[in-house]
Structures are given as C-alpha cells and as structure tokens.
Amino acid sequence: MLKRLDKIRFRGQRTDVFLDLGDSPNTSDTECSEEILMKPRPSLEIKDTEELQDPAGPGTLTMAAVTIQDYQRAETDRLNDLKGHLEIALLEKHFLQEELRKLREETNVDTLKQELEKERSKRLDLEQKLNLEKETMYSWLQAWLYNRFGAYIGDFHFQTEENIVEPEEPLSAKRLTENMRRLKRGAKPVINFKRNLFALSSWQSVYTSAFAFIIYMNAAWHGWAIPMFIFLAILRLSLNYLISRGWRIQWSIVPGVSEPVEPPKEDLTVSEKFQLVLDVAQKAQNLFGKMADVLEKIKNLFMWVHPEITQKLYVGLWVALICSCLIPYKLMGLYAGIKFFIIDFMFRSCPKLRDKYDTPHIIWTSLPTDPQLKERGGATLSRRIHPAVAHGSLGTALPCGISLEEQTGRAYNTKKGAFHEVFNLSGDERPLTVCENGWRCCLINRDRKSPTDYIRNGVLFVTENYLCFESSSCRSNSSKKNKVIKLIDITDIQKYKVLSVLPGSGMGISIATPSTQKPLVFGAMIHRDEAFDAIFTQYTKKVTMTTATNPET
C-alpha cells in the first residue's frame, strides 16, 4: 500500500493545478469547507496590494510587489502541499475501503458463522445420540447381569451381624423328658456305630473281624484305604435309602438289645410321673457330667495344666510329623490296621498290659478334670496348714480372748476361696456355727426366664449380717452368680413347698426382698427346718438391734 502511495505521489512533476476536492472520491464535508475557506484568500491579497501602493515612488511599490509575490508563492506552495497530502489521504482511504470490501467478500464471516453453528449443532446431536446409546447399552447390560447373577451377587452383600436373642422356654418337666428322648434317638446311630467298631476290634465275631482285617490290610497295602472308606460310606447311604423306602434290612455285628417299652403317659400316676421326672433329671445330670469331664480333660491336655502328660503329647506329635515325612503312607495304614485289630484287642484282654504300655489310655486316665484339680489344690493347702497348726505357729499368733476355733472360723474358706473374697464382704464376716459347712439347696429365681438363671444349685450360708448363696457352677468363679442378701432387707421369710403334689410341708424357704418382684425360693433343702430356724433367729436379732439403735427405721 505504501509503495502505491509513493508512486502516486512522485509519478511526475508537481503541478500547481490539482483536481477539485469535490471531484475526488469519498470526500467529506470537512474537506470541502477547507477548500472554500482557502479560495478567496488570493483576492484579498491582491486587494491589499492595491491598497498598499505607496505614492512615494515605484521602487517602493516594486519591492512591495516582490514581497507580496514571494508571500503569495509561499502560500501557494503551502496550499499545494496540503492539497497533496489531502489527496494522498483520500486515496489511501479509497484503497483501504476497496481492500476491506475485497476481504469481506473473500472471507464472508456471516457464512462462516452459520456453518460453524451448523457444525456445532451437529456435534451436539451426535453427542446426545452417543450418550443415549451408551446409557441404553449400560442399562441393558446392567439388567442382564442383575437377572443373571443378581441372586448370587446379593449373597456377598456385607452387613453387620445382628445379635438376635432367641426366646427361651420356661422350665417344664414335660419338655425336659421329651428333649432327653430326642437326644437318645439322635445319638442312637452314633452309639451303634461305636459299638460295631468296638465289636470289630474285640473280635466278638471272629469270622467278621478276620474278614474285615484281611480286606483292610489288602486295601492299605495297595493304597486303596481312602477309596475303601468312601465306598463303605456310599454303601451305608444306599442301605439307608432302601430302609427309608420300606425295605427291612437289619445287619449289625453287635446283636440288638430290645429296649423296654415305656408305658403311655395316661396310665402314669402322680408318683410315677414325679419319679419319671427325677429319672430324666438324673440322666441329664450324668450325661452333662460325662460331657463336661471329656471337654475339661481335652482343655487341660492342651493348656499344659498337667505338664508331664502334655509333654508326652508334644513329643508324640513331633514323632508323628517326622514319620509322616519319612515313612510312606502305605506303612502307616498297615500300622493303623494292626493297632486297631490286634494291639487294642491284646490291651483289652490284658488290663495289666494295658495299664503299663497303652500310652493313649494312660494319658487319658491320668488327665484331671477341674473338680479334681480343685480337690488336689484343697488337699495341698490343707497339708500345708496342718503341720503349722501342729507346731503351734497359729496358737502363738492368736490374740488374747480368742480361741482356736474362732480363729479358724475367721479364716473359713469355701471351695472357691476365702469366704469374704467369694462374696465381696468384709474380713470379719464368717458363717455361723450352725452352718459352717452350709446347707445344700437350689436357688429358684422366678424373676428370671433363662433355665441357667432360673435354677442354680449351691450352698446357703448365714452370717451375722448377711444371707449368702454360693453357686456350684464351674463358670461362676467370680461373684456374678453368687447371691448376697442383707438380713435387714428381708421383708418376709416363710417355709415354702415347691411341689404341691408331694406330701409333707415341703423342703424350701421363701424370702422376699424389695429388689425382687417374686420371692426367692431356696428349695431341695434336707435340713429345711434347721436352716429356717437359724435364719429366722438371726433375722429377728438383727432387726431388733437395728430398731433399738434407730427407732425411726
């Protein structure tokens, strides 16, 4: 653009004649007004020259005319320069407008904007369609997976386990009898299986035991012991299926023992029903005692309660581990067969040989139960105390006015420890002379619904200020299940008959306190009258002393 302007500016010799501003393209009102103001200026200068003619002489006029011409020439040059610059500016404006028009025609911004908007709308439509397709595909896939695997995935939903307390049934003689019968029926297959194994090992049927021994040893030698046991399990299930379908298949190594037929309940008298309940309770007691003995022996074996016996088990496990790594399983299976069929038979037939060399039998019979450990601990403590008493160590330490019996009474110990520690009482509280060993009874708390809390066996003591019941449960090493009642808190004490069907006045004592809704009953007391007289006498004495010291109470 600048090159074009230079060519226009210096295209030829400068002329004093220029185009009229009105003829130039795109002239503005301002440019025309400047031309109009500048045109009359030469006439004014001529008029002024005429007025300035000096009458003094031509020389002066000549000089004045020259001066005026020079001035006019300078003004003319200045006007020509201004005109040139104005023309150049107009031309530049013209060319710029042409270039702008060409650029607008070439670029066409509006069309581009419209096309851009169209493309943008297309892109938005495509994105919406794509998102819709994705959502449709995702929802379809999710629905398919839920219908296919929803039930299985729901099983892996993690949630906090709620501790649901099942309602416990109250104590009932009928329910107890029925549960014992159910237990007997459920344990019958296990007992029969155990009897059959014992019969095989004891060779009660020589032909059957010999046949089983040969088959087992052959299977163990060829490595078929495990498949043989699996086949026997399948065979037993097949026989059970046929029996359930009505087949009469009866086969057992041990001859069946006919069980006595129980008379119908309608034919039982009141005394027979009561005797039935006692028999069921006795069976339950013996069964629970045997189960407790087994569990306690296993616990004591693994907890190093008897270190010598547990040490044998420890060494035996290490030997078994080394043998399992070095000796083939075939030989171990053969040893198991010889042990079951021959060695155990020899030990059962020769008890002296068994007591000397049967290590499992020796370990099991030597394991103590928790009551045996407590008896041993009590015997050890008594052996430690008696020599000291014999040497007069306690007699020298007795204070004046206190006998040996009173001192030993203060140091009275229950089966679970010192008397005051068991019941959380002060050290001067001890049982009265009439109940130093306590009265065996059972506490019936009719406010409780749980069978374990409803009836608890134990021993009842009475002191100068308290009535104490020590529970005989092995789990009540703490004082949680023991009962301590202040004599002054007793509101009523009476003789009580637990079972109204029995003859006599009963074998219980009923004690009411403000803390219980129903009176506590101490039943099954053989010396009920003696215990009642001692408790009532001490209770009356305590209430009298309290009333004397505090009449308002």
How do residues 112-165 score in pLDDT, each as one tens digit? 788 889 999 999 999 888 888 888 888 888 888 878 877 777 777 777 767 777
Q: Which residues of 277-303 are buried (b: 16+ CB within 10 A; e: fewer)?
A: eeebeeeeeeeeeeeebeebbeebbee
Q: What is the dihedral of CA 142, 148, 150, 151, to 10 degrees?
A: 170
Contact 538, 462 (CB under 8 A): yes
pLDDT for 52: 46
pLDDT for 51: 45
Residue with structure tokens 């074009």?
4
Q: Give the bridge partners for 256, in sequence order.
A: none
| Distance from chain centroid for Cα 168 | 25
419-549: which CATH number, 2.30.29.30, 3.30.750.24, 3.30.1330.40, 3.30.1370.110?
Answer: 2.30.29.30
Which residues in the chain show pLDDT less than 50? 1-2, 5, 9-54, 56, 257, 381-411, 474-478
Q: Domain limits of the chain?
A: 174-249+277-376, 419-549
Least Cα distance to 425 among 461, 466, 469 occurs for 466
H helix runs in 108-172, sequence order: 109-154
Q: How far apart are the C-alpha atoms of 538 and 432, rounded to whole Å?
A: 10
Least Cα distance to 413 among 437, 448, 440 occurs for 437
**Residue 510 in tokens:** 């009923």
- Phi and psi angles of residue 328, each rounded to the nearest 5 degrees, phi first: -65, 150
pLDDT for 188: 87
Least Cα distance to 439 among 507, 487, 488, 377 occurs for 507
Least Cα distance to 475 among 342, 292, 321 occurs for 292
Q: How far apart are the C-alpha atoms of 460 and 293, rounded to whole Å?
A: 26
Contact 456, 518 (CB under 8 A): no
Q: Around Cβ 192, how many Cβ atoms within 10 Å?
A: 14
Q: How far apart are the C-alpha atoms of 382 and 505, rounded to whole Å?
A: 40
Q: What is the model's pTM? A: 0.45
Contact 470, 459 (CB under 8 A): yes
Q: How far is CA 360 from CA 93, 312, 313, 339, 364, in A?
A: 123, 10, 9, 12, 6
Q: How far apart are the C-alpha atoms of 181 and 265, rounded to whole Å?
A: 14
Q: How far apart are the C-alpha atoms of 426 and 431, rounded to whole Å?
A: 12
pLDDT for 322: 93
SS (H, E, C) 387-409: HHHHCCHHHHHCCCCCCHHHHHH
pLDDT for 298: 92
Contact 484, 425 (CB under 8 A): yes
- Phi and psi angles of residue 324, each rounded to the nearest 5 degrees, phi first: -65, -25
pLDDT for 407: 39
Q: pLDDT tens digit string along 448-501?
A: 665 556 788 889 999 989 999 988 764 444 456 788 999 988 988 998 887 766
pLDDT for 451: 55
Contacts of 394 by beta carbon, 8 Å cutoff, 6+ apart: 388, 404, 407
**Residue 338 in tokens:** 């010889």
pLDDT for 319: 92
Helices (H) and strands (E) in the chain, counts: 20, 9
pLDDT for 450: 59
Reported as type and span, the H/E element at residue 504 is none
Least Cα distance to 97 among 3, 20, 1 occurs for 1
| The amino acid at 240 | N
pLDDT for 132: 84
pLDDT for 314: 92
Q: How far apart are the C-alpha atoms of 96 and 107, rounded to whole Å?
A: 16
Burial class (CB in 10 A: 0-12, 13-18, 19+), 407: middle
pLDDT for 278: 74
What does DSSP say about strands 492-496 and 508-512: parallel, antiparallel, or unpaired? antiparallel
pLDDT for 72: 85
pLDDT for 553: 57
Cα-based angle 218, 224, 226 (whole degrees, multiple of 5): 125
pLDDT for 448: 67
